[in-house]
Amino acid sequence: MPRPTNPKLRRAILDVARRVLIEQGYPALAMRPIAREVGCTATSIYLHFDSKDALIHALIDEGMELLGRELRAALAAGATPRDRLQRLARAYLSFGLENPEYYEIMFMLHPSRMERYPAENYRRARRNLDFFHQELAAALGPAAADRDLRAEATLLWTSLHGTVSLLIAGRIDAAIDRDKLVELAVAQVLRSLSPPPLLPESDAARN
């Protein structure tokens, strides 16, 4: 389904859609308002995107690639595995906070919208998260032997995601300094390099 057409209009549509999304939320992400802001007709959008879902998916793709770029840049700048891990975390947080529109559509959309997201894109997108796994392994070295690094890397990601998404959603108490929270989140990632804590006994009895 090659769809070259006027690339400028395509860009404009994507940009407006992103802005509307963050400013007014998903329910307001309607074709006609987008068209009005872009300065074309709603019909024109359909020349560039098969459907509203396709438009959203294009935004997701763009966002994933942008994130990938930034994570790779972080990797390249790091001297040691530990340094790279820290940079990865910081880059992830920065990306989310500086591109909330992308972030929201990439990671905060309801699954009912994601179901239609082509599986192949999905897989490609997930690759971004492998960086965490890879650097965690490198940083731990032989100490990684008896740890489930895939799960640990996932945890790093989900933790960062929680911080980003709640900050974006404005759910964090205004008394909390955003930069401070970011620093703590980065530190938490580095903490995961030290050996896991012993769970209290009460826990062993549980479940």
Partner DNA sequence: CATGAATGAGCTTTCATTCAT
Partner DNA sequence: CATGAATGAAAGCTCATTCAT
Angle at CA of residue 116, ends 88 and 6, nearest 5°: 80
The CA distance from 73 to 88, in Å, is 9
Task: Give the x/- contact pattern for its own copies in 41-70, rule: CB under 8 A.
Answer: ------------------------------
Decide which of DNA, its own copies, none touches 194; Cβ closer than 5 to 8 Å per partner kind.
its own copies
Q: Does 27 bind its own copies (CB under 8 A)?
A: yes
Cα–Cα dist 136/204, whole Å: 27
Residue 133 CB, nearest approach to DNA (Å): 36
**DSSP category for residue 147:** S
Angle between the 52-77 and 130-140 helix axes, to the nearest 10 degrees? 20
CB of residue 113 to DNA, shortest distance in Å? 11
Answer for the pair 172, 181: CB distance below 8 angstroms, yes or no.
yes
Among 15, 52, 78, 165, binds DNA (CB under 7 A): 52
Kindly give the residue spans of alpha helices, DSSP state H, lying in 39-115. Answer: 42-48, 52-77, 81-98, 100-107, 111-114
Q: Give the one residue of 14, 16, 21, 40 binding DNA; rule: CB under 7 A.
A: 40
Q: Which of 56, 4, 7 is nearest to 27 (CA)?
A: 56
199 binds, among its own copies, DNA, none (CB under 5 to 8 A by kind): its own copies
Cβ neighbour number for residue 157 with a 10 Å cutoff: 20
Q: Which is nearer to DNA, 74 or 105 (CB)?
A: 105
Residues that bind its own copies (CB under 8 A): 1, 23-28, 36, 77-80, 82-83, 86-87, 90, 104, 107-108, 110-114, 126, 148, 150-152, 154-155, 157-167, 169-173, 175-177, 180-181, 184-188, 190-194, 196-197, 199-200, 202-203, 206
Residues that bind DNA (CB under 7 A): 2, 4-6, 9, 28-33, 40-44, 46-47, 51-53
